[in-house]
A and B are shown apart, each in its own frame.
Chain A
């Protein structure tokens, strides 16, 4: 199934884009997604840690992705 990925901060520089369409299997968890995206885009090796948001809310590793979810890659934040 297809999901939309939004990239921010250093992730936009590493992948040279701010959004991607990405194909994941059914019942894909956030942890699975992190492995799959690293396999497809080895640039993710260069980000030590990042959070994932699903539809604008922080998501834990166990959460399951659904078709058409908007999944955001949230590198360590630095606002303020």
Chain B
């Protein structure tokens, strides 16, 4: 049985599927991080977000994060799912779930996974405003 579930999809992300994947009789807790599309950036109204990916490399980098998390924290399983394509306000671009015997490892693994994903996984979002579009982070 695999301990990791990695996915990039243009379909709606499924929180229940991420929960069910990590659910395990040996575990005392499941932690989940759910990213959602916010309606503003620095006071400016966002209408939608367009996510593009370098899919084969992004999947490899997400797998690396999941494998690292399994090594670093006392978790049983971890799921990292990311959306691609156009998302509307309130939609879910990312879900991370982790299960562990004890809660701290599950919390820590989720935090590590989302922080690392934002630094290393080749996924880009373009913010759409009523008057234009901007690649996020393009000019750090």
Contact = CB atoms under 8 A, between A and B. Distances in A.
A77 B123 CA distance: 6
A10 B35 CA distance: 23
Contacts of B57: 53, 56-57, 72
B124 interface: yes
Interface residues of B, number: 29
A76 B114 contact: no
Interface string B68-79: 000000000000
Interface of B: 35, 51-54, 56-58, 60, 82, 93-94, 114, 117-126, 135-140
Contacts of A6: 54
Q: How large is the interface on A (under 10, 10 to 19, 20 to 34, 35 or more residues)?
A: 20 to 34
Given A6-B54, A53-B57, A56-B56, A78 B122 contact: no
Given A8-B124, A56-B57, A77-B118, 7 more contacts: A77-B123, A78-B125, A79-B51, A79-B94, A79-B117, A80-B94, A80-B118
